[in-house]
Structure 1
Amino acid sequence: MPLNPLDTPVTGTRLHTLASEGHLSDTALERALIFAEIIPPKHRWQTFLRGLLLMLGVTFILAGVIFFFAYNWAQMGRFLKFGLLQAAIAATVGISWYKGLEHLSGKLSLLMAAVLVGPLLAVYGQTYQTGADPYELFLGWAVLIVGWVVISRFASLWVCWLLLLNISLILYWTQILDMERWTFAGMCEAGFLLNASAILVWEWLAAPKIPWLSGRWIPRLLLCASTAFLTIPTISCIFDYASEPFLLLAPILYFSFIAACLWIYQRVIHDLFVLAVCLFSLIIIITAFFMEMLGEGFIFLMFYSFLIIVQTAAVVFWLRKVEKTWRDTA
């Protein structure tokens, strides 16, 4: 039984085909693309640009505050430093309360307050010479703003908080622990566990279709970080035969994580970007393996180039096939 054309999914390719055959005018094509949410309407572009300019303004204000203190540090007394920073934090929290966390301006004001807590802690440490390690600054920063992070329902503030946790972990691992025992590979695996746990929590919370969790850029960012944390020690394991427990554990965690991501994000959560990142990482690992096995030389260099081309073509072919399968079953 032939498929009714009206039952086929609406895609940009099909709409452009109808337009090229004369069934749709240019105006009708544009309206159809907007109606099918293939291209955004005018008001969505305006909302995007308004939010982008607002975020750029917040970024420049924060940069100005930091550079102001850096330039005038020697001429400012301790009470002036503390007073200005505390007044700025109080002002931004007040603006956030006045605007409300339902509006972007209120969320960005709370983000500014959370960022300004860091310079306040830095000024306190420099003024009173507390002798605290750098990781304690970032960890204390993360602890102090956790309440704002929870109530904000703002993805960017969650990213800022996770970044502080990552920096705290790296600084603690490199400055406090004995690196001869707790190796660089162990630090990467700890960073992977932190970010992979954040991915699991985010995807679990996003399942009920909570509006502010609907964006895909945070889990994608966290997956890039998790993949990088595992790819680096796995490459080290390929080129280094040392029998370090952390180094030997890296390939096991890596291939388990990549296999899980390829299955979940192909069959459960359709995300082509995640699949592309995982396969790009596999290309790096496979190429590194052959480089270690075959060595150097012009002939081998040509082989590695050909290998990368073949792998990339295979990845593109598979991703196009997966995307077509999703589209046909939609």
Structure 2
Amino acid sequence: MDEALYRVAAQSPHDAQTLAQLHRVATSPGEPRSLARHLHWGLLLVAALLLASGLIFWIAANWQDQTRMFKLMLIEGALLASIVASLVWRRGRIAALLCATLALGGLLAFIGQTYQTGADAWQLFATWAALALLWTLLARSDVLWLVWVGIVATAIGMWYGHMDLWDLLFRGRAMVTQQAVYMLLWLALALVPWLVSLVPWTRHRNGMAWWSHRVALAMALGAWTTVGVIDLFVRESSGLAYPLSGLLIGAAMFVSYQGRLQDFASLCLATLAANVWVLSLVARALFDSGDSVGSLFLFTIATLACLGGTVTGLLAVQRQLRAQSSAAKGDAQ
């Protein structure tokens, strides 16, 4: 619903002029030009995604029918054409760079599989992210940052698995350094959108690329929570991952509640991770007692208490943020 309806309805007294203004706002046709612009932009992105995916699938489907050099030149030509299109076609720049990013990944994968460079999978994704970083910075698009965050997250996950996932998760005392590095890598990824917003020539037009920030934070929270919970329940654990994950989750909640990174969606994600972290500790304490039925009952009560407290607190924060937003709009007018 249009926010102008709320502003007009909040005026008092409700005289004839106010009611007439409210009727005009309620029956206004909206902004069809804005809808058409967003629809056109979305279709360009879908077209770029389909073109790049079609190129990669075509090469895979015709693996034996075409020569190696032809496939290499085709992918390189698609990459070059996408970059040139981004330079000369202003309205389709983001779509062209999205196509270039995907084509770059296909090119690296083709080279790695064809020439057997010996590189690990995580190195491919790390190289992909490093090469695509230049135009991602210059384009200042949340869509490209979202794709870039996904590439880096895949590289971090594959690097962690490459170091023998079983040892890292279940032999934590011997792998404490690797666990700490892994969690700090996710912290660095979560901070990338904020750091980019501090640089004027890379900053998003809205000041912050919020969707990429939320996705990066969600992935980081998931990784921290997973490693922390495993560290809590495994006997041969390091004892460091669980408190460190709690510290990182608490910091994410704090910065999402106030300050430059204040965002209700991010706060909800951090609160969900905090619930999992707390309930894991409660489960560990209860089920170690030996009374499974009583422990299950108490754990259910604790879960309901956390759920009720979380919902109540988030609703209160949402009302507070709406009030702050309304006050800021009123001061601006």
TM-score by length of 1: 0.79
SS at 1:24 equivalent? helix
Contact 1:155–1:213 (CA under 8 A) maintained in structure 2: no
Query: Is the alpha carbon distance of 1:57 and 1:305 closer, same or farther for their aligned partners in structure 2, counting shifts above 3 Å?
Result: farther
| Deviation of the 1:226 alpha carbon | 1.6
Counterpart CA distance in 1 for 2:102 and 2:141 is 14
Task: Say which SS state the counterpart of residue 118 (structure 2) adopts.
Answer: coil
Which residue, 242, 255, 265 being the options, matches 1:273? 265
CA contact (8 A) 2:122 2:155 kept: yes
Q: How far apart in 1 are the matches of 2:49 and 2:60?
A: 17
Q: 1:242 aligns with which of 225, 236, 239?
A: 236
2:182 is aligned with 1:195: no
- C-alpha offsets along residues 204-229 of structure 1, whole Å, 9 cap, x if unaligned? 448x9751544421211111112112
Q: Within the alignment, does 1:311 sit opposite 2:309 as a pair? A: no
Distance, in Å, in 2 between the alignment partners of 1:44 and 1:255 is 43
Report the equivalent of 1:255. Answer: 246
The aligned residue for residue 55 of structure 1 is 45
> Structure 2: which 5+ runs fail to align?
328-333
Q: Do 1:238 and 1:289's aligned partners in 2 also have CA atoms closer than 8 Å?
A: yes
- Equivalent residue, structure 2, for 1:5: none
Deviation of 1:232 after TM superposition, in Å, equals 0.9
Report the Cα offset of residue 249 of structure 1.
2.6
> Which residue of 85, 106, 122 maps to 1:119?
106
Kindly indicate whether the alpha-carbon contact (under 8 Å) linking 1:199 and 1:223 is maintained by their aligned counterparts in 2.
no
Give the stretch that moved more between structures: 169-178 or 253-262: 169-178
Q: Give aligned-pair identity as a percent.
A: 22
- Tell me, in whole angstroms, the C-alpha distance in 1 between the residues paired with 2:203 and 2:117: 45
Aligned residues: 307
CA distance in 2, matches of 1:44, 1:323: 27
Partner Cα distance (2:189, 2:37) in 1: 31
2:135 & 2:150 partners in 1: Cα distance?
A: 15
Partner-residue secondary structure (3-state), 2:124 = helix
Structure 1 residue 47, shift from structure 2 partner: 2.4
Measured after TM superposition, the shift of residue 152 of structure 1 is 1.9
- With normalisation by structure 2, the TM-score equals 0.79
Q: Could you say what secondary structure the match of 2:19 adopts?
A: coil
Equivalent residue number for residue 288 of structure 1? 280
How big is each residue's C-alpha offset from its partner over 1:205-260, in whole Å with a ceiling of 9 and x where there is no partner? 48x9751544421211111112112111121122124342xxx3323332322333
Match of 2:24 in 1: 28
Residue deviations 1:261-296 (CA, integer Å, cap 9, x gap): 333332324321122111111211222222222227
Q: Is the 8 A contact 2:193 2:208 kept in 1?
A: no
**Residue in structure 2 matched with residue 133 of structure 1 by the alignment:** 120
CA distance in 2, matches of 1:242, 1:313: 34
The 1:301/1:28 distance shift into structure 2, 3 A limit, reads farther
RMSD (Å) for aligned C-alpha atoms: 3.2
Residue 324 of structure 1 aligns with which residue? 319
In 2, Cα distance between the equivalents of 1:169 and 1:128? 24
The whole-number CA distance in structure 2 between the counterparts of 1:278 and 1:226 is 10
Aligned equivalent of 1:4:
none
Amino acid at match of 2:242: P
C-alpha contact (below 8 Å) 1:166/1:191 kept by paired residues: no
> Hey, what's the Cα distance between the residues in 2 that align with 1:294 and 1:324?
36
**SS state of the match for residue 63, structure 2?**
coil
SS in 2 for 1:73: coil
